[in-house]
Amino acid sequence: MVAEATGTRMVVLDPTSAPLPADAKLADRPDTLDGKVLGLLDNHKHNASSLLEAVQELLSQRYELAGVVRASKPDVSRPCPSEIIDELVESCDLVVTAIGD
């Protein structure tokens, strides 16, 4: 919500996100990660990339991944752009996202 400002008026911004739909649910989990393409989404916070590198290393030791796709949000405080989400949906079987603090 944004209130327009002119002259001596103040602009008020609402930083909250829209709530998740009531019917939102978690995605089905695969039985194994063998042969799957792993997506890693960095939210652009400090240490997120390092955390995702560790996740990739651990998963690569346990499973025969078909590939890894790395992506990064341009701004930590904004939702992930739809182009990045679309790319991950199209090319990955699962996606891990992380914050780094």
Q: How far apart are CA 5 and CA 71, in angstroms?
A: 37
If pLDDT is split at 50, 70 and 90, which confidence band does 82 have? very high
* pLDDT tens-digit series, residues 12-66: 888 887 777 888 788 888 999 999 999 999 988 888 999 999 999 999 999 999 9
- Residue 5's pLDDT is 53
Q: Specify the pTM.
A: 0.74
Torsion, CA 3, CA 22, CA 32, CA 63, rounded to 10: 20
